[in-house]
């Protein structure tokens, strides 16, 4: 049996690890009989190498939104260090999946926002990366978020990058006709960076939606990424 090793970033904030466990539990319930293990790149246990030492064949499925450092460098390095390259493959990150954008749109409407509100501007707040290509892909979320709505505008700002700042992004939305602005966090879980974004939102008098969390569509996206690679393995 091929094991799905759901691999999260890891965080000093226990809410992040709790959410990863909730996603892993949901994935397991949605696919009875599938061996689902949770691992972390850093800061939490079990580590990825420890989990890989316990399985025969596996697909490491990143619980990550962006194809940045951890997906491109850290996870492959940890697989290699574990000596697992011959029996382990790595799935793509969750990325800008339509499922996840649908969850983000739902989180915004849970603030009491109508999809027909043409006065609304949405600031998509994301982590950001030193990889410009990864940031460019994340920036696509804002445009996708507007689909099926009459919202005035959406834009992206990165909590860990200097430009544009969150405040500059809000001003950009207002110049584009938004009379009300809300923050849509492109984060999987609460944590230190989402808290930083929330402090900005509170200081600016702006509402902020909940993160994606352990929503059913997050788990579906995990399984979809796993299946892409598991099917290839069978075909090979």
Q: Residues 161-166: what's their mean pLDDT?
A: 85
Q: Is 234's pLDDT higher than 70?
A: no
Sort 63 into a burial class: Cβ within 10 Å, 0-12 / 13-18 / 19+.
Answer: buried
- Look at residue 235 in the predicted model and tell me its pLDDT: 45
* CATH number at 98-204: 3.40.50.1400
pTM: 0.95
pLDDT value for 41? 97
152's CB contacts (< 8 A; 6+ apart) are: 118, 119, 120, 121, 173, 176, 177, 178, 179
Residue 227 has pLDDT above 70, yes or no: yes
Q: Using 50, 70 and 90 to split pLDDT, how confident is the model at 231?
A: confident
Q: What angle do CA 121, 147, 66 make, to 5 degrees?
A: 80
Output the pLDDT for position 161.
82
Range with the lowest mean pLDDT among 14-18, 22-26, 162-166?
A: 162-166
| Cβ 142 vs Cβ 155: under 8 Å | yes
In sequence order, which residues have a C-beta less than 8 Å from that of residue 179 and are 6 or more positions away? 119, 152
Percentage above 70 pLDDT, the chain: 98
Q: What 3-state class would DSSP assign to 131? A: coil
Domain 3-95+215-233 has CATH 3.40.640.10: no
pLDDT of the residue at 233: 58
Q: Is the pLDDT of residue 212 over 60?
A: yes
Q: How far is CA 127 from the centre of its chain?
A: 9
Q: Which position has the higher pLDDT, 235 or 1?
A: 1
Mean pLDDT, rounded, for 94-117:
98
Confidence at 31, pLDDT banded by 50, 70, 90:
very high
* E strands present in the chain: 2-8, 36-40, 57-62, 88-90, 120-126, 153-158, 180-185, 207-208
Give which of 75, 194, 190, 213 is closest to 124, Cα–Cα. 194
**Average pLDDT of the residues of the chain:** 95
- pLDDT attached to residue 172: 97
- Give, to the nearest 10 degrees, the angle between helix 216-235 and helix 14-30: 60
Rounded CA gap, 150 and 67, in Å? 30
Min mean pLDDT across 161-165, 174-178, 222-226 is at 161-165
Q: Same topology for domains 3-95+215-233 and 98-204, yes or no?
A: yes
Please give the average per-residue pLDDT across 185-195, as a whole number. 96
Is the per-residue pLDDT at 45 higher than 70? yes
Q: Say if CB 173 and CB 155 are below 8 A apart.
A: yes
Q: What are residue 59's phi and psi, to 5 degrees?
A: -115, 110
**Terminal-to-terminal C-alpha distance of the chain:** 15
- Coil, helix or strand at residue 104: helix
Domain ranges of the chain: 3-95+215-233, 98-204
Mean pLDDT of 219-231: 96
* Cβ(110)–Cβ(209) below 8 Å: yes
Residue 207 in this model has a pLDDT that exceeds 80: yes
């Amino acid at each position: 049996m091929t094991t799905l090793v759901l691999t999260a970033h890891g965080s000093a904030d226990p809410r992040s690890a709790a959410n990863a466990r909730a996603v892993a539990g949901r994935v397991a319930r949605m696919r009875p009989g599938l061996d689902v293990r949770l691992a972390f790149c850093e800061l939490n246990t079990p580590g990825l190498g420890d989990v890989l030492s316990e399985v025969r064949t596996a697909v490491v499925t990143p619980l990550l939104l962006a194809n940045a450092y951890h997906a491109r460098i850290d996870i492959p390095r940890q697989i290699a260090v574990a000596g697992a390259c011959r029996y382990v493959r790595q799935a793509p990150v969750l990325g800008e999946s339509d499922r996840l954008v649908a969850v983000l749109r739902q989180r915004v409407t849970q603030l009491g926002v109508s999809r027909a509100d043409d006065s609304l501007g949405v600031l998509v707040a994301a982590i950001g990366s030193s990889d410009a290509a990864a940031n460019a892909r994340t920036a696509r979320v804002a445009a996708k978020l507007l689909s099926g709505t009459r919202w005035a505008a959406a834009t992206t700002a990165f909590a860990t990058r200097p430009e544009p700042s969150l405040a500059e992004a809000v001003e950009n939305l207002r110049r584009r006709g938004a009379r009300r602005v809300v923050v849509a966090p492109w984060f999987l879980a609460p944590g230190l960076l989402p808290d930083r974004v929330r402090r900005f939102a509170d200081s600016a008098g702006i509402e902020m939606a909940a993160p994606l969390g352990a929503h059913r569509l997050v788990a579906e996206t995990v399984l979809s990424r796993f299946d892409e690679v598991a099917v290839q393995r069978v075909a090979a």
